[in-house]
Amino acid sequence: MAWSESDIPDLSDRTYVVTGANSGIGWEATRMFAAHGARVVMACRTVSKGEEAASRIRALSPGARLEVMALDLSDLDSVRAFAAGLRGVHPHIHAVINNAGVMAVPLARTAQGFEMQLGTNHFGHFALTGLLFDALTPDARVVTVSSGMHHIGSFDWTDLNWERGYGAWPAYGRSKLANLYFAFELDRRLKAAGSGIKSLSCHPGYASTNLQFVAPQQNKTMFGPAFWSVGNALFAQPAAWGALPTAFATVSPTISGGEYVGPRLFQAWGAPVVQATGAHARDAEGWKKLWEASEKRTGVKFQL
């Protein structure tokens, strides 16, 4: 039988953190977790949007336990403030779902000067997870959302910041490959330390979300929104289906750590299953290089 939302167990003893929880895959995953009893901290860049998103979930699940907190992953000061505030309220966290991200945006820099996509999608989540790490319960999970676009990603270790030859899609691919490098290296380190915490990665396949429209809006093009509108209408699965790999990676009892979960049919549609990444995502030396670069750039070290 295909795994579905109905397979999510009772989560009333769980506290989850979901980044980018106000829309798309993050909102659907939050809705699912809350409907099954979890307390969910919705980490959102804009609190008002988070509160509106929480209200929509409460309309579906009146007993939903939701808390909205401000988090801007493109600013490490915001990440540190969020982590400190969260730990003051919730000293025990059962899962961190690294979901938020930006896709194929024009060249821009984070508050600390990193290329925006790698800075937001990877460095921000690396720092967040590290700062929350000692609050994770012994059976906790770290779930990092990647993308099938990791297949086009590559690293130039002499130019992580895209000082030359920037391309919006290659930069996105690099950031999604970085998500996998992080998830796999964290898994390796956890197992070496004998920890019960599990690190997983997943991707939504081709799901219809607002993420696809951000870059065209920033580029102020008419073609982009039209292209995605038609493509989503004809080929995309609903965001709720795209969130199933995230839910599966977070709650499935069959997970041992290190798995990559995505939709079954052509890695684009359907029920979540464990599947293979691109071969280049299994570069253990690359994992270590990125980990060391991430520690240096964020100033965050994991206490394993």
Catalytic residues: 172
The helix (H) or strand (E) run that includes residue 294 is helix 284-298
Q: Which two tokens stand for residue 93?
A: 């966290």
d(CA 203, CA 136): 23
Query: Taking the alpha carbons of 169, 200, 184, 66 in that order, is the dihedral positive or negative?
Result: positive
Closest CA to 300 of 112, 130, 186: 130
Helix residue ranges per DSSP H, 15-124: 24-35, 47-60, 76-89, 116-118
Q: Which two tokens stand for residue 28?
A: 């659907």
Coil, strand, or helix at residue 115?
Answer: strand
Cβ(8)–Cβ(86) below 8 Å:
no
Instruction: Write the DSSP assignment of 144-169 as a string of letters.
Output: EE--GGGGG----TT-TT--SS--HH
Kindly provide the residue ranges of all beta strands, DSSP E only, lying in the chain, ordered along the sequence: 15-19, 39-44, 65-70, 93-98, 136-145, 198-202, 260-265, 269-274
For the chain, the 3-state helix, strand and coil shares in percent, each to the nearest 5, are: 50, 20, 35
Closest CA to 276 of 293, 262, 294: 262
The helix (H) or strand (E) run that includes residue 258 is none
